[in-house]
Amino acid sequence: MNKQKDTYQKSGFKVPDNYFKEFKINQLDLVDKNVFKVPDNYFEDLEIKLPQESKVINLKQRILLISSSVAAILIIAIIAFNQPRNNQKLNSFSNVEQSEIENYLETELENPEDYINNNVPLNFNDFEESQLTSEEIAEYLGDNLYEEDFINE
């Protein structure tokens, strides 16, 4: 391989000898001169238009607001549809008359032995071991019986 000393191409432009040594710029002349000039009455006629502040809405807050609103609406809807209506009668023993219960027991329960599960063995020893005192029986009857039960119509 041949290595040439001048690997760069010459541009063809030449500067005269001692050109940069003889060339001097008077820096004081440049400072005294005002290079940039403003036309007369420029600042008096200039209208300044300041940009208005744009309304910025944070997306996280917006999503949180929408999702919480939807959740609140769903909760209210679920509660509203699950509430019993005022005109509906609820099925409970308090709505059933005592005479209806007595009538059912007399007519429908002709043979109570049919409703007893005979497949379950009964151990009478369990009943003998669990003895109730008269105080416990009186307390139970006092808590669970009402005067209306004793009134004959």
Is residue 37's pLDDT more than 60?
A: yes
11 vs 82, more confident = 82
Percentage of residues in the chain having pLDDT higher than 90 = 10
Percentage of residues in the chain having pLDDT higher than 70 = 73
Query: What does the pLDDT look like over 75-123, one tens digit per residue?
Result: 999 988 887 666 556 666 667 787 887 887 777 777 767 777 777 777 7
Contacts of 84 by beta carbon, 8 Å cutoff, 6+ apart: 90
* Structure token pair of residue 37: 């000039």
Predicted pLDDT of residue 11: 75
Q: Are 127 and 121 in contact (CB under 8 A)?
A: no
Mean pLDDT of the chain: 76
Q: Which of 150, 140, 148 is nearest to 97 (CA)?
A: 148
Q: Are 98 and 148 in contact (CB under 8 A)?
A: yes
Query: What does the pLDDT look like over 58-73, one tens digit per residue?
Result: 888 889 999 999 999 9
Is residue 56's pLDDT more than 60?
A: yes
The full length of the chain comes to: 153
